[in-house]
Amino acid sequence: MSNPTHLQYTAEHEWISADGDTARVGVTAFAADALGDVVYVDLPAVGSAVTAGEACGELESTKSVSDLYAPVTGEVVEVNDAVDADPSLVNSDPFGAGWLFVVRVTDPGELLDAAAYDALVEA
């Protein structure tokens, strides 16, 4: 599986797309496939602080409930209301319409490039 090369990744299967001091966050196709059909998302609230590597929400699927981890440290400035209304977007378009939230980054944490993430999930 090849992941978009313009994104950065975490070992917990989140991706970020940085744009200046903000970053859009989602979960990878690998994570979406492993979760199964996502039926509910619990996203961090706008204005809340998130810390890289710590749980900041949950994704519930027909199989299980999984923690959502913050890939970076910062303040949540936007959440994807479309995913809140239709959680299946996480499965159908994880790198596009299925994004989860935007954070104003204060510390980028430990991120992987696409090649390193590909190697991790193929191991």
Residue 1 within a domain: no
Rounded Cα–Cα distance for residues 94 and 90 (Å): 5
**Which tokens in the block code for residue 70?**
């913050």
| 101 within a domain of the structure (yes/no) | yes
Taking the C-alpha atoms of residue 82 and residue 33, their distance in angstroms, rounded to an integer, is 20
- Write the single-letter amino acid at 101: F
Into how many domains does the chain fold? 1
The per-residue pLDDT for range 78-121, each reduced to its tens digit, is 999 999 999 999 999 999 999 999 999 999 988 999 999 999 99
Q: Is the pLDDT of residue 1 over 70?
A: no
- Edge to edge, the sheet with strand 49-50 lists 8-9, 14-19, 22-27, 101-107, 73-79, 49-50
CATH of the domain at 114: 2.40.50.100
Residue-wise pLDDT for 12-49, tens only, equals 999 999 989 999 999 999 999 999 999 999 999 999 99
Q: What pLDDT was estimated at residue 38?
A: 97
Residue 11 confidence (pLDDT) above 70:
yes
Expressed as residue numbers, the domain containing 78 is 8-122
Q: Are 76 and 102 in contact (CB under 8 A)?
A: yes
